[in-house]
Amino acid sequence: MSDPFLSSDDYGERAHQLYNDGRYDEAMEVLRDGLEVYPFAVDLYVGLAYARLAREEFAWARGSFEEALALDPDHEDALAGLGETLLKFGQQERGLKCFDHVLNLGFREDHDLILQMGRALFREGLIEPARNFFDTAVQAHQESAEAAACLGYALHRLGDEDGSLRSLRRALELEPGHAEARIYLANLLYDRGEYDAALYHFERTDPGDHVDELAVWRLIELKKSVYRLPTDDPELIPWVNRLREFVEAQEPEDQLLAELESLQPDGSIRDPRQLELFGALMSEVRGMRRPSTNDVHRVTTPDGLCYSGTWEEIVLQMRRDDRECTGESLSDYMEEVSRRNQAVTGIVIPASDAEAFVRGSAAAGLLNLDR
């Protein structure tokens, strides 16, 4: 029920607290009550729009942002929110115009707003413009670990691995406790074959810092290899328990798929603690878009082994199962398999990148490309 003795700012503050606690329905009720008393309060419309955006009610959010902008066409938070909503509807050009309007209004040094727009672009796969916003944030706030980390994520997606490493290390210099940046850096180093450096960073995270199993599997694998630890070693128990939590959180159909993939060619069940039984997942960080189903592939070998994940993750799993492999990095492994296959069959498997390697292996009869 609306209270005429409260100011519009009071309503906004109450709603903001509820929003921060994730109580979006209650926040929306407070904002609606406020708008009954203050029907021209722009900030209440903006707050209502963001609450709807958080609930993924994109059409309603868009309407509320547009109502706010009808009252104040230059409201920076409304412009940023409308731009993000337009991206959800595939209207990239209009969304970018909203973001550019914010920049033209002079908000280049607004740390949170610039990162918000950059993350929105990143989530929709617009990595180059996202990088520009993150770079703007870094230039304006060189002390911001979050800005440096976001720039690192974008640079990696754009193929600038060295630039990504520099930005992620800079983020950790500024904020050693930035777990997401550390996990991302550790995974990147692992993929480069720099296992000692990867383990250094993995060991400086806690099980609760991880939002998917890929890095946890890698940490366990490295600890067992470097320190010769058995799986039931007390040092590994918290990490094994974290993996159980991921499995328990899976949907029933995902659990069934994992069980099917754990079968060996003879029908027996492999040790479920081994890394290669599971399709590796992309590490997720704030503002990062989880791969769509189109990014996940599945292959089987003539012996019945199944691998799933991104192209790079499939090659990683293949390397784990290949006892003849001597190379340390993924590129070493792909080149080694290509030479080995050429010597036997005369067929050259491309080793330039993971996708070409997997498709070439399928063409050579070493794999069946299921998806």
Instruction: Give CA separation, 149 vs 56, 205, 207, 287, in Å.
Output: 26, 16, 20, 11
How many C-alpha atoms does 318 have within 13 Å on its Cβ side?
29
307 - beta bridge partners?
299
Instruction: Give CA separation, 27 vs 18, 101, 102, 204, in Å.
Output: 5, 28, 26, 37
Using DSSP's 3-state secondary structure scheme, residue 307 falls into strand
For residue 297, the Cα-to-chain-centroid distance in whole angstroms is 17
309 - beta bridge partners?
297
269 - beta bridge partners?
263
Tell me which DSSP letter residue 310 carries.
S
Tell me the C-alpha distance between 71 and 234, whole Å: 61
Predicted pLDDT of residue 371: 66
Tell me the C-alpha distance between 318 and 327, whole Å: 13
Domain ranges within the chain, ordered by starting residue: 1-107, 177-283, 291-371
Both structure tokens of 117: 């727009």
> Consecutive 10-residue runs of the chain (371 residues): their mean pLDDT?
76 92 92 94 96 93 96 97 95 97 97 97 94 98 97 94 96 97 94 92 96 89 90 92 83 51 44 31 37 62 80 80 70 82 79 80 82 66
Tell me the C-alpha distance between 277 and 161, whole Å: 28
Which segments of the chain does DSSP mark as H helices, in order? Answer: 8-20, 24-37, 42-54, 58-71, 76-88, 92-104, 111-123, 127-140, 145-157, 161-174, 179-191, 195-202, 213-227, 237-248, 252-261, 311-321, 330-345, 354-363
Using DSSP's 3-state secondary structure scheme, residue 308 falls into strand
**Positive or negative, the Cα torsion across 219, 224, 225, 229?**
positive
Strands 368-369 and 306-309 come out as unpaired
Instruction: Give CA separation, 181 vs 164, 167, 214, 222, 292, in Å.
Output: 11, 9, 15, 19, 22
Predicted pLDDT of residue 326: 64
**Positive or negative, the Cα torsion across 72, 74, 76, 82?**
positive
Burial grade of 303 (CB within 10 A; 0-12, 13-18, 19 or more): exposed
Specify the pTM.
0.69
Instruction: Give CA separation, 250 vs 27, 176, 278, 313, 316, in Å.
Output: 30, 31, 13, 20, 23
In the numeric block, the tokens 């600890």 are attached to 223
- Looking at domain 1-107, its CATH superfamily turns out to be Tetratricopeptide repeat domain (1.25.40.10)
